[in-house]
Amino acid sequence: MTISFKISDNTKEKMIEHYKYMTRPKTPAYAIFQADDADTVITLYESGKVVFQGISADIDANIWRETEIMLNGKAPEEKEKKEKKEDNDKTDYYFINSIGSDEVGTGDYFGPIVVCASYVNKKDISFLEDLGVRDSKKITDEKILKIAPDIMKKIPYSAYILKNTEYNTLQEKGYNMNKIKAVLHNKVLLSLMKKDNYITDMVVIDQFTSPRSYFNFIKGEDNVFRKITFTTKAEDKCLSVACSSIISRYIFLKECEEMGNKLGSFVPKGASVMVDDYGKKIVNKFGRDILREVAKLNFKNTEKILNN
CA distance 181 to 115: 8
- Where in the chain are the domains? 2-72, 98-257, 267-306
Q: pTM surpassing 0.85?
A: no
pLDDT the model gives residue 57: 79
Give yes or no for a contact between 185 and 205, defined as CB atoms under 8 angstroms apart: yes
The CB-side HSE value for 73 (13 A sphere, CA atoms) comes to: 0
pLDDT the model gives residue 36: 87
pLDDT the model gives residue 60: 81
CA distance 272 to 301: 8
pLDDT the model gives residue 86: 55
pLDDT the model gives residue 83: 43
CATH (residue range 98-257): 3.30.420.10
CA distance 303 to 308: 8
pLDDT tens, per residue, the chain with 308 residues = 788 999 999 999 989 988 888 888 888 888 999 998 877 899 999 999 999 998 777 778 888 888 888 888 777 766 544 444 555 666 888 999 999 999 999 989 999 999 999 999 999 999 999 998 866 567 888 999 999 999 999 999 999 999 999 999 999 999 999 999 999 999 999 999 999 999 999 999 999 889 999 999 999 999 999 999 999 889 889 999 999 999 999 999 999 999 999 999 999 988 888 899 999 999 999 999 999 999 999 998 999 899 86
Angstrom distances, CA of residue 76 to CA of 8, 103, 109 = 8, 25, 21
**2-72 has CATH 3.30.310.10 classification:** yes
